[in-house]
Chain A
């Protein structure tokens, strides 16, 4: 190999991101606390430039580089653009919240952007090793971000829990990867798939490794029975960081799972379908039913995340390109919804007060009817009520399992989403029919108000014309998964 073989163009957005964040890290040292806004604006600028670069180097086919450890395909382009937008929104939403709590520091931005870079790698990796490195980069940033509010005991505790369980999950994943390597003799996704497809690999060893890989992936997705960390981490971490964990990393985790199971272990589809079905059924059941008992809204959203992960897995269980695109569509929609949900919580929080329990939302309509309406949109969309976007996402994944004949699974999913509707509607009831307990004025920065409104209204507008977004997902998936 020489320099001419090293085609850096497909990885240009990542290279830019890594270099720019490193420069930002140094620049930030010379910025005083009062002028931290400079770091904030620069971070947003980095995201914008990376997105433009991403569009500039996008090709409608897959390009491998870095000796096949990195791939740039339409799927990764689409997801990366969504992640830039998500991170942009997260930074805008969390500005005031962080400033009020003393975590509006340089580290907050560098760690967030490094986490994004890690996610980019997860999305664009075509080798077990780079997949794993991307995951570790992301996880390490998230652990640190949670603990950044150092004097808060719940934050430190949840960072510790996340760290220990995350390390365990990484261990499981690595152990599974080593078994697959033993059976196939390669760590490269395409080569692994080829070796399994040819039937030359040791079947027992493969399935043995697959069990550990699925367990590790379920841990990272936060699906039952590996979900124990999700509620504690969501509840304990600062709301801004909970938003960050709940948004872009879900997109990255989805593509991560897709690369592992579909691109790498695709020929074992019959084996992982069953495992994922159990995980999906448990996630939908435990997520939705436990969420009903929660009074802390962050914890409730955490259980709702768990159930959404169950729905997302339905698309993967389908095991065909339609199912995968439905799951991708679901993930994008889920991220849009959770941005609004957590965004409202951030908007309602102020210095010395975190909007955390259902009581804090009571009578929101009396206090500010616009935010009440935005929260209503988010909750209705999460519950899957037409004509909001969430309905079409649920519809797509449920259709994909009906299409492969798993009607019982579809019926179960519908029943669970009905149960889930209860706690989403309870939030709406609190907002509209209860009297306000807390009557402090809601002060929100103009840019956040604008972005949050656009974000929430998008749930309604895109819900009216979901075909465009669905078509984008289908197209990206078709062009990327050539193995299918």
Chain B
């Protein structure tokens, strides 16, 4: 077994463990941190495949930006995750068994001699000066131009959806229109009312009676 194979299996074991903990960890912050570990480990897999740009992008974008944001959300929202996951452990034995059976079946098919996976040879190693970024850029902006632009639109739709679903004109908002505010005149704010003077004696007795009650 070559060194790379050992690294591959170690990384895979960590990845599976981390992914498992993401869904089983009780504390949501721990789950998010395990997800960070999962992303980081997959970045290791990319490195093994000599896709260093993708590996770095995964760490920078997912671990650096997305997950940090996610952690903020988890910490700020007061969600009772225990309540949300009620019944998780109750259904876990059945779900786990079904999952294991599926994994075993898939493994049986893929590892059978008929599948002859050994006919797939490892790709030839890249030249020492091969540039990942250059190749990726060329592909994205030429061959895969359409899917790339579509991805941009998917993100735009995500923004529209996020704003559409969360923006809410609150009833208690103290919204001020500056234009209206500037145009205000004295008459809008102060109203001078002509009225007869109030008799003082009545007010005084009121105050006294209130004090007595207190």
Contacts of B106 in A (CB 8 A): 208
Chain B residue contacts of A127, Cβ below 8 A = 147
Q: Does A105 contact B (CB under 8 A)?
A: yes
Q: A137 contacts B165, CB within 8 Å?
A: no
B9-61 CB contacts (< 8 Å) to partner A: none
Q: In the complex the two chains form, is B146's CB within 8 Å of A114's CB?
A: no
B147 close to A69 (CB less than 8 A): yes
Chain B 128-144: CB-based contact to A (< 8 A → 1; otherwise 0): 00000000000000111
Is residue A143 contacting chain B, with contact meaning CB distance below 8 A?
Answer: yes
| Cβ distance B117 to chain A, nearest Cβ, rounded Å | 8
Q: Give chain A residues whose Cβ lies under 8 Å from the Cβ of B116.
A: 202, 204
Contact A130 B160 (CB under 8 A): no
Asked whether, in the complex, the Cβ of A111 is within 8 Å of the Cβ of B160, the reply is yes
Does A459 interact with chain B (Cβ within 8 Å)? no
Tell me which residues from 94 to 130 in chain B have a Cβ below 8 Å from any Cβ of chain A. 106, 109-110, 112, 114-117, 119-120
The B155-173 residues at the A interface (CB cut-off 8 A) are 156-158, 160-161, 163-165, 168
Which residues of chain A come closer than 8 Å to B150, judged between CB atoms?
A: 121, 130, 133-134, 137
Residues of A within 8 A of B160 (CB): 25, 107, 110-111, 114, 144
The yes or no answer to B153 lying at the interface (CB within 8 A) is yes
Does A385 count as interface, using CB distance less than 8 angstroms?
Answer: no
- CB-based contact B164/A66 at 8 Å: no
Q: In the complex, what's the smallest C-beta–C-beta distance from A163 to chain B, in angstroms?
A: 11
Q: Quick check: is A141 within 8 A (CB to CB) of the other chain?
A: yes
Q: Which of B144, B156, B161 contacts A143 (CB 8 A)?
A: B161
**Distance, CA A382 to CA B145, complexed state (A):** 42
Given contacts A110-B160, A140-B158, A204-B114, contact A1 B153 (CB under 8 A): no
| Secondary structure of the B contact surface, majority rule | helix
The docked-state distance in angstroms from the alpha carbon of A117 to that of B106 is 36
**Which of B115, B142, B164 sits near A202, CB closer than 8 Å?**
B115
CB neighbours (8 Å) of B112 from chain A are 204
Q: In the complex, what distance in Å separates the CA atom of A345 from the CA atom of B151?
A: 36
Q: Which of B110, B147, B151, B164 contacts A144 (CB 8 A)?
A: B164
- Is A182 at the interface (CB under 8 A from chain B)? yes
**A 114-156 binary contact with B (CB < 8 Å = 1; else 0):** 1001000100000101101110110011011001101000000
Chain B residues within 8 Å of A6, by CB: 145
- B115 near A205: Cβ-Cβ < 8 Å: yes
In the bound complex, residues from chain A placing their C-beta under 8 Å from that of B144 are 67, 69, 129
Q: Are B157 and A69 in contact (CB under 8 A)?
A: no
B154 touches A136 (CB 8 A): yes
B114, B120, B146, B164: the one contacting A69 at CB < 8 Å is B146
Q: Which of A25, A69, A70 has the most CB of B within 10 A?
A: A69
Are A137 and B157 in contact (CB-based, < 8 A)? yes
A-B contact count (CB 8 A): 90
> Does any Cβ of B come within 8 Å of A18's Cβ?
yes
Query: When each residue 164-190 of chain B gets 1 if its CB lies under 8 Å from chain A and 0 otherwise, what string results?
Result: 110010000000000000000000000
| Contact present for B164 and A70 (CB under 8 Å) | no
B154 and A144 contact, CB distance less than 8 A: no
Q: Which residues of the other chain, A, contact B153 by a CB distance below 8 angstroms?
A: 18, 114, 117, 137
Scan residues 90-115 of chain A and give those whose CB is less than 8 A from a CB of chain B: 105, 107, 110-111, 114
Partner of B164, one of A1, A148, A205: A148
Q: A69-B146, A144-B164, A182-B120 are in contact. Are A114 and B114 (CB under 8 A)?
A: no
The complex places the Cα of A143 from the Cα of B163 at a distance, in Å, of: 14
Complex Cα–Cα for A274 and B146 (A): 34
Which among B117, B151, B164 has the highest number of chain A CB atoms within 10 Å? B164
Task: Output the residue of B146, B147, B168 with the most chain A CB within 10 A.
Answer: B146
Question: A306–B91 Cα gap in the complex (Å)?
Answer: 28
In whole Å, how far is B204's beta carbon from the nearest beta carbon of chain A?
A: 52
**Also in contact, A144 and B115, with CB within 8 A (given A70-B146, A137-B150):** no
- Whether A144 and B146, one on each chain, are in contact in the complex, defined by CB atoms closer than 8 angstroms, is no
Separation in Å of the B140 CB from the closest CB of chain A? 11
Enumerate chain A residues within 8 angstroms of B168, measured Cβ to Cβ: 150
Which residues from B are CB-within-8-Å of A140?
Answer: 154, 157-158, 161
Q: Which residue of B lies closest to A137 (CB)?
A: B154
Give Cα A209–Cα B159 distance, bound, in whole angstroms: 33
Q: A69-B144, A129-B144 are in contact. Are A105 and B151 (CB under 8 A)?
A: no
Q: Which residues of B contact A117 (CB under 8 A)?
A: 153
Minimum CB–CB distance from B116 to chain A (whole Å) comes to: 7
Q: List 30 A-B contacts (CB under 8 A).
A: A1-B143, A18-B153, A67-B143, A67-B146, A107-B160, A107-B163, A107-B164, A114-B156, A114-B160, A117-B153, A121-B146, A121-B150, A130-B147, A134-B150, A136-B154, A137-B153, A137-B157, A140-B158, A144-B160, A144-B161, A144-B165, A148-B165, A150-B165, A182-B120, A202-B119, A205-B110, A205-B115, A205-B117, A208-B106, A208-B109
Interface contacts beyond A133-B150, A136-B154, A204-B115: sample of 18 additional A-B pairs, CB < 8 Å, sorted by A? A11-B146, A22-B156, A69-B144, A107-B160, A110-B160, A111-B161, A130-B147, A130-B150, A133-B154, A144-B161, A144-B164, A144-B165, A148-B164, A148-B165, A204-B112, A204-B114, A205-B117, A208-B106
Could you tell me which B residues sit within 8 Å of A by CB distance?
106, 109-110, 112, 114-117, 119-120, 142-147, 150-151, 153-154, 156-158, 160-161, 163-165, 168
Nearest first, the 7 closest Cβ-Cβ pairs linking A and B are A144-B161, A107-B164, A133-B150, A66-B146, A204-B115, A67-B143, A129-B147
